[in-house]
Amino acid sequence: FVVSPMKLVSLGVMLIGTILSVSSEELVGVWLGLELNLYGFLVIMNPDGHYSPEPCVKYFVVQSTGSILMLVGFVTLMEQHVVSGLVMSTAGSVLKSGVFPLHSWVPSIIKNSSWLASGLMLTWQKVGPLVFLSMILPSKGLWVVIVSMAGIGAVGGLNQNSVRVMSAYSSFVHTSWMLLGLTWSSVVFVGYFAVYSLSVGLFFYGCSLMNKMSMGSQLSSAASGMGLLMLMGMPPFLGFLAKVLVFLMSGSPVIVACIMGSIISLKFYIDFFYSMVMKSLVDKNKVEVKAIWSLVICMNIMGGALILVSFI
């Protein structure tokens, strides 16, 4: 991802759009923020024309359809047709966020996108639609979405060979945790989202380095392994502490579905960990590998301690 003025402007528009949609008190502001975010992200998906335009076109069609549904829903709400307006707005936000039952477009687009675009699509691009969805969808509706996402993500990722597709199904499970945290505390949602974004960033960064012969295998293996361990939610890493925070704050029985989804997803996490990461760690420079792993483990332990202290 070479820095250029066009990419910086697009990234700024994308960030400003999400912030505007989350902080706006008016429906028009929410819609405008999501549109700014979309147009900024489209440039980042294929800035130089090196990648296939197919995922970019698919993403544009999906997001545009969601925006039209949301806009029609907002206009209907302004005309005092509450039920139909809420239905249209909910359908649009569900489609844009890629959650059940309009989630099937996510794996196909993630599979053919770049590492950077895939990582942003699984993290930052979900913030605005998920926050708006949690505001308009009733609690029982959110519980159905949470349980469905946990089950689909866990089962769907079991027989996947593609790293990106596996990450897409993994994001479904983590989305269920984020939605559950968002229903009880925005602070917990922000904390879980930050940890999840860091995990995906490390994992995708390590995977992208594996395709570059000039980079040492130690760095790519350490980054991928670190990201996987955090995505697994294994103690004492930050992913485990983030799940603990959601578990402590939630008083809903749907937390059981989230836990079961995470347990089932451990299967494809572990398979990938041993097949791709552990094999590459068998290297001559084992001292350097141990040093890298010691550093990242210490960073996670220290970060987890800071999170716990902040909530005391």
Tens of pLDDT, residues 270-298: 888 777 655 555 544 444 445 545 555 55
Closest by CA position to 113, among listed 38, 58, 181, 160: 58
Q: What is the pLDDT of residues 135-176, one digit of tens each?
A: 888 888 889 999 999 999 999 888 888 888 999 999 999 999
Percent of the chain surpassing pLDDT 90? 32
Higher pLDDT, 306 or 209: 209
The model's confidence at residue 25, banded by pLDDT at 50, 70 and 90, is confident
Confidence (pLDDT) at 302: 56
193 within 8 A of 215, measured Cβ to Cβ: no
Are 162 and 272 spatial neighbours (Cβ–Cβ below 8 Å)?
A: no
pLDDT digits (tens, 9 = 90+) for 217-227: 566 667 777 88
Residue 212 has pLDDT above 70, yes or no: no
Query: For position 183, what pLDDT does the model report?
Result: 86
pLDDT at residue 10 greater than cutoff 80: yes
**Residue 214: is its pLDDT beyond 50?**
no
Measured distance CA(174)–CA(180) in Å, rounded: 10
Indicate if the pLDDT at residue 202 is higher than 60.
Answer: yes
Whether pLDDT at 259 is above 70: yes
Alpha carbons 281 and 217: distance in angstroms, whole number? 8
pLDDT at 303: 55
Q: Is the pLDDT of residue 2 over 60?
A: no
The answer to whether residues 30 and 67 touch, using CB atoms and an 8 Å cutoff, is no
When the pLDDT of each residue in the chain is averaged and rounded to a whole number, the result is: 82
Task: Please answer whether residues 206 and 222 qualify as being in contact, where contact means their C-beta atoms are separated by less than 8 angstroms.
Answer: yes
Whole-number Å distance between alpha carbons of 71 and 30: 10
pTM: 0.84
pLDDT digits (tens, 9 = 90+) for 64-96: 999 999 999 988 988 878 888 889 999 999 999
Confidence category of residue 4, pLDDT binned at 50, 70, 90: confident
pLDDT bucket at 249, cuts 50 / 70 / 90: confident
Mean pLDDT of 122-130: 91
Q: What is the pLDDT, as a whole number, of residue 109?
A: 92
SS (H, E, C) the chain: CCCCHHHHHHHHHHHHHHHHHHHCCCHHHHHHHHHHHHHHHHHHHCCCCCCCHHHHHHHHHHHHHHHHHHHHHHHHHHCCCHHHHHHHHHHHHHHHHCCCCCCCHHHHHHHCCCHHHHHHHHCHHHHHHHHHHHHHCCHHHHHHHHHHHHHHHHHHCCCCCCHHHHHHHHHHHHHHHHHHHHHHCHHHHHHHHHHHHHHHHHHHHHHHHCCCCCCCHHHHHHHHHHHHHHHHCCCCCHHHHHHHHHHHHCCCCCHHHHHHHHHHHHHHHHHHHHHHHHCCCCCCCHHHHHHHHHHHHHHHHHHHHHHHHHHC
What the block records as the tokens of 222 is 């350490």
Contact assessment for residue 14 and residue 43, using Cβ atoms and an 8 Å cutoff: no
**pLDDT of 63 higher than 90:** yes
